[in-house]
Amino acid sequence: MTKPAGRTRGATIKDVAARVGVSPMTVSRVINGQAGMRPETRAAVMAAIAELSYKPNVAARSLVTSAELRIGVIYSNPSAAFMSEFLTGAFEEAASQGARLIILRAPKGKNPTAEMMKEFLASGLSGVILTPPLGDSAALLQTLEEAGLPTATVGAYSEANTISVRIDDRSAAYEMARHLVDLGHRRIGFISGNPDQAASAERMAGFYEAIRESQAEAAIAQGDFSFKSGLTAAEQLLDCQPAPSAIFASNDDMAAAVVSVAHRRHLDVPGELTVVGFDDTIPAVTLWPPLTTVHQPVQKLAAEAIRLLAQRISVPGNGDGSRQQCILEHSIVHRDSAARPTTSVPPARPQIVRRSGTP
């Protein structure tokens, strides 16, 4: 007696992936028509789908993708405005990638503790994104490398074998400082950012380059990208004799603090004091007057970090152990907080203003 023929098993997404030599997540991305795929990879996947007569199952496709792609995001940034922009971009891109984000908030301005990292790494991550200033932490990068996790950094200048997504901070700061010089300012204050963050040094270098070219006078105060540090730095700069006619803060939070101090001292902005910032986050448009600032595309930085990390995870061996840089464009956004100085000021020698105890 012959046995009845068994039901023929249809091809699965794993069969297609095995035929091409890629991951099931890559097959899913091709089926969904998502951007960022290599043309040859897309063509090979589509050919395998045709050869195997694979019929995608929407529910199964979603489960495979979400199960495979779990991206961790670690942050300790003191700027709530920056993180709001960052997480908006990250969540939107994660949704388009079918990825799940696992968020770890470290102590403000510090690395996560060993216990926090142990629990985080045990959550089945596919890769990790480090937000500023954590991308410059050699210790944290080493921990992730030892765990074998693909890593992307945002706004960092580390030489580690990671995906690095940022803007050209030096060029951006130079352009803003040149704008102030071109307006006629010759006494310009600058509030630097977190001294442990490479972007802070790059922004200061760009500022100094413009100052040296113009032979203007510079007054420098140390901040840490927080509103509170901006208050202290603004008081120090405005106590200088003579005071600067313009202050360039390394982020919008600190620029907002400068405007607050100026209002408290009954200084008209920009009539008596020009104030400019960096980032183009929410404070830049909610202040009065709204800030002239460097536009750093924070949402795009986050989205690109997610996209590139997902791409590296999806194809085994795709860039593993190599450094990959992606530099996005910045721009100067002109609003109402910058104007020409009311009186012309002759150039003078630079002076440095720092908080007590700061090296």
pLDDT exceeds cutoff 90 at 356 = no
Rounded distance between C-alpha atoms, residue 153 and residue 163, angstroms: 6
In this predicted structure, what is the pLDDT of residue 347? 42
Distance spanning both ends of the chain, measured CA to CA? 92
> Cβ distance 308 to 327 under 8 Å?
no
> Cβ distance 127 to 71 under 8 Å?
yes
The residue-averaged pLDDT of 41-48 equals 80
| Nearest-5° Cα angle at 113, 108 to 119 | 115
In CATH, what class is 70-167+299-329? alpha beta
Q: How does pLDDT run across 312-347, given as a tens digit for each residue?
A: 887 655 545 578 899 999 999 999 999 999 864 444
332: closest CA among 284, 294, 278? 294
User: For residue 94, what are its two tokens?
Assistant: 């994660």
Which amino acid does the sequence have at 124?
A: G
pLDDT exceeds cutoff 60 at 67 = no
CB hemisphere CA count around 226 (13 angstroms): 10
In CATH, what class is 169-297? alpha beta
Q: At what angle do helices 80-97 and 298-314 cross, to 10 degrees?
A: 40
Q: Would you call 171 exposed, middle or buried from its count of C-beta atoms within 10 A (0-12, 13-18, 19+)?
A: middle
In CATH, what class is 13-56? mainly alpha
CB hemisphere CA count around 134 (13 angstroms): 28
- Name the E strands within the chain: 70-75, 100-105, 127-130, 151-154, 163-166, 187-192, 217-222, 246-249, 274-279, 292-295, 324-327, 331-333
C-beta neighbour count of 10 within 10 angstroms: 11
pLDDT exceeds cutoff 70 at 18 = yes
CB hemisphere CA count around 160 (13 angstroms): 26
Residue identified by tokens 């950094």 is 153
How confident is the prediction for the chain on average, in pLDDT?
A: 85
User: For residue 279, what are its two tokens?
Assistant: 């980032």
295: closest CA among 169, 190, 164, 156? 169
Q: How does pLDDT run across 189-210, given as a tens digit for each residue?
A: 999 999 989 999 999 999 999 9
Query: At 51, is the pLDDT very low, low, confident or very high (cuts 50, 70, 90)?
Result: confident
Rounded distance between C-alpha atoms, residue 353 and residue 230, angstroms: 14
**CB-based contacts of 200, cutoff 8 Å, min separation 6:** 192, 193, 194, 225, 250
Percent of the chain at pLDDT above 70? Answer: 85
In this predicted structure, what is the pLDDT of residue 43? 78
Rounded distance between C-alpha atoms, residue 29 and residue 91, angstroms: 17
Query: At 37, is the pLDDT very low, low, confident or very high (cuts 50, 70, 90)?
Result: low
In this predicted structure, what is the pLDDT of residue 64? 43
User: For residue 7, what are its two tokens?
Assistant: 């039901």
Q: Which of 38-47, 203-212, 342-351 has the highest mean pLDDT?
A: 203-212
Residue identified by tokens 């929410």 is 282
User: For residue 28, what are its two tokens?
Assistant: 């899913």
The residue-averaged pLDDT of 235-256 equals 96
pLDDT exceeds cutoff 50 at 149 = yes
Query: At 96, is the pLDDT very low, low, confident or very high (cuts 50, 70, 90)?
Result: confident
Task: Provide the residue ranges of all domains of the chain, joining segments of one domain with +.
Answer: 13-56, 70-167+299-329, 169-297
- Equal fold, 70-167+299-329 vs 169-297: yes
**CB-based contacts of 45, cutoff 8 Å, min separation 6:** 16, 20, 22, 26, 27, 30
Q: How does pLDDT run across 263-292, given as a tens digit for each residue?
A: 999 999 999 999 999 999 999 999 999 999
Q: How does pLDDT run across 157-181, given as a tens digit for each residue?
A: 988 789 999 999 999 999 999 999 9
Query: At 35, is the pLDDT very low, low, confident or very high (cuts 50, 70, 90)?
Result: low
> Cβ distance 49 to 12 under 8 Å?
no
Q: Beta strands 151-154 and 187-192: pairing type?
A: unpaired
In this predicted structure, what is the pLDDT of residue 27? 76
In this predicted structure, what is the pLDDT of residue 59? 42
> Cβ distance 197 to 168 under 8 Å?
no
pLDDT exceeds cutoff 80 at 23 = no
In this predicted structure, what is the pLDDT of residue 349? 40
In this predicted structure, what is the pLDDT of residue 138? 92
C-beta neighbour count of 136 within 10 angstroms: 22
> Cβ distance 120 to 126 under 8 Å?
no
